[in-house]
């Protein structure tokens, strides 16, 4: 038959199981990071179009969608020297320049360094005047494009921050 297990024992078994699962997930993420860093080693010096995925006081994380790889652009590598971290809006903003780096902004980066021991990738920002002479081969997204969805009601205009306006 069945045997009752004391509540305290069940609780400690659950805690141990949860801790082991968390450790396994952490190890899995670390292995994936290391493999991504190893992969990006063959792309050192190459330029890619990326999207800002996270912003911190020490820099911005840029994801390369074509490889599903995240890397760090350190704040000291950004061209603006007056950047401050706006924690409320999770962005870096130039005090004098007005330039801002926001989650979702597109950015061209160069693979600067990889750390295959820790699974870290460093990027350098590429400004329009800094582009390599030989163009980087772009990959086209795979899959079919669907038709645009019809919106009911009023269509709102997109907001453009002052720092992103051209003209």
Q: What is the CATH number of the domain that holds 91?
A: 2.40.50.140
pLDDT tens by residue, the chain, 167 residues: 788 999 999 999 999 999 999 999 999 999 999 999 999 999 999 999 999 999 999 999 999 999 999 999 999 999 988 899 999 999 999 988 889 999 999 999 999 999 999 999 999 999 865 544 333 333 333 333 344 444 444 434 444 444 444 44
Q: Which residue has the tokens 């582009």?
A: 131
Polymer length of the chain: 167
Residue 73 lies in a domain: yes
Residue 11 Cα to chain centre, angstroms: 38
Residue 149 lies in a domain: no
The total of structural domains in the chain comes to 1
Residue 3 lies in a domain: no
Structural domain boundaries enclosing 42: 14-134
Separation of alpha carbons 33 and 115, rounded Å: 10
């Amino acid at each position: 038959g069945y045997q009752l297990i004391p509540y305290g024992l069940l609780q400690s078994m659950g805690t141990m199981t949860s801790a082991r699962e968390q450790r396994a997930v952490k190890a899995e993420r670390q292995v994936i990071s290391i493999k991504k860093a190893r992969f990006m080693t063959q792309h050192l010096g190459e330029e890619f179009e990326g999207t800002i995925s996270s912003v911190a006081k020490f820099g911005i994380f840029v994801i390369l969608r074509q490889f599903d790889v995240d890397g760090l652009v350190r704040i000291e590598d950004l061209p603006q020297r007056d950047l401050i971290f706006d924690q409320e809006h999770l962005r870096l903003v130039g005090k004098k320049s007005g330039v801002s780096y926001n989650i979702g902004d597109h950015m061209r980066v160069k693979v600067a360094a990889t750390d295959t021991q820790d699974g870290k990738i460093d990027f350098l920002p590429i400004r329009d005047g800094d582009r390599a002479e030989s163009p980087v081969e772009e990959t086209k997204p795979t899959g079919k494009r669907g038709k645009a969805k019809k919106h009911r009601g009023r269509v709102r205009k997109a907001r453009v921050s002052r720092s992103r306006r051209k003209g």
